[in-house]
Amino acid sequence: MKWYDRITQIDRRIIYLLLTLFIILPLFIPFKIPQNVMPQTQQLFDFVDSIPPGDEVVLLALDYTPQTAPECHPMAIALLKHCFARKVPVIGVSFDPQGPGLAVEAITSVIREVNENARTREDSVIYGTDCVYLGWKSGRVAALLQMGESVPQVFPVDYYGTPIDSLPLMLRVGNYKDVAIAINIASAAYPDDWIRYPQSRYGVKVGAGLTAVMAPKYYPFVQTGQLSGMMSGMKGAAEYEHLIVKHGYTDDSGTAETGMNSQSMIHILIIVFIVLGNIGYFFSRRGVKQ
């Protein structure tokens, strides 16, 4: 077998083994590659950073599933840290049935972390006053439209069954007029509905946190201003983590920056394999012609 035929027929077990090594090694040998922040991530960060503290709320729609959690969960964590550090109240909702489990985990872990480091009451986050999670609701499109008229009508109780008129934060949130931005972190095409209904009909600002494969579809919406910024994939999450550390909102960079190291190594490996495959293909085709 000629050398160029050999490099086009590498055993898949070797590919799998190398891939495993390239994923695991960066987790044990940590290194830091500076992030170059993409404009749409910077745009989303700047928008959240410009919301006056304690005034309007950030509506966080947490619609990602465990399958896409490595990409989307760090986005939710970074956004929550950013909002809490700036004293911007957060309301969480989910329209994907798999969403609440991870949403509860993200919200409680960030609240716990903030409160462990808090020195005064002002530094801490209190559930019901600074943050509320409303849980899951069926009939996504109808619920999105109805929330434009009245949020309490769609969510009369929060995720834990507490009537929302007993939660101080919800007393000052009637509909989208009280929302500075709705950010949908999603692993499916849910941002389409946020753009079509709350954004188009009620003029609410919409941001998005998406998996990398979904992001190309949403570039037109960023360009038209229908999306006020977006994070795409693990890179977007790592960029947002980098921005909140850079601006002094937290000392701890999250899991996406570490994940990006593994992802970058895999991308290099895939590129090397594609190049090898094409070199082999080129020479074998020349050999056939000769």
Partner 1 sequence: MKRTIPLAICLIMGVVMMIQFFIPHPISLEFNSTILNWIIVLFAFALVLAIGNLIRHHSIKIRKRKHDWPYSIVTLTSMAAMAIIGLFWGIEADSLFQRIYLNIFAPLSATMFALLAYYMASAAYRAFRARSLEATLLLAAAFIVMVGFMPFGQYISPRLPAFAEWIMRYPNMAAQRGIIIGVAFGAIATALKIILGIERSWLGGKE
The site for partner 1 (CB under 8 A) is made up of: 10, 12, 15-16, 19, 23, 33-36, 38-39, 65-70, 100-102, 104-105, 108, 137-139, 141-143, 145-146, 149-150, 153-154, 159-160, 215-217, 219-220, 223, 235, 238, 260, 264, 266-271, 273-274, 276-278, 281-282
Strand, coil or helix: 229: coil
* Between 48 and 147, CB nearer to partner 1: 147
* Between 255 and 264, CB nearer to partner 1: 264
- Tokens matching residue 204: 């609410």
φ, ψ of residue 133 to 5 degrees: the values are -115, 115
The enclosing H or E element of 238 equals helix 233-246
The enclosing H or E element of 26 equals helix 12-28
* Between 129 and 223, CB nearer to partner 1: 223
Closest CA to 263 of 231, 235, 230: 235
Q: How far, in Å, CA of 279 to CA of 287, rounded? A: 12
Contact 182, 59 (CB under 8 A): yes
* Between 87 and 137, CB nearer to partner 1: 137
- What's the closest the beta carbon of residue 268 comes to partner 1, in angstroms? 8
* Between 126 and 270, CB nearer to partner 1: 270
* Between 21 and 53, CB nearer to partner 1: 21
Q: How far, in Å, CA of 158 to CA of 177, rounded? A: 20
- What's the closest the beta carbon of residue 238 comes to partner 1, in angstroms? 8
The strands making up 57-63's β-sheet, listed across from edge to edge, are 131-136, 90-94, 57-63, 179-186, 206-210, 230-232
Q: How far, in Å, CA of 73 to CA of 77, rounded? A: 6
Contact 209, 185 (CB under 8 A): yes
- What's the closest the beta carbon of residue 55 comes to partner 1, in angstroms? 26
- Tokens matching residue 132: 């509320």
- What's the closest the beta carbon of residue 52 comes to partner 1, in angstroms? 29
- What's the closest the beta carbon of residue 35 comes to partner 1, in angstroms? 6
- What's the closest the beta carbon of residue 138 comes to partner 1, in angstroms? 4
φ, ψ of residue 23 to 5 degrees: the values are -80, -45
* Between 159 and 176, CB nearer to partner 1: 159
- What's the closest the beta carbon of residue 219 comes to partner 1, in angstroms? 5
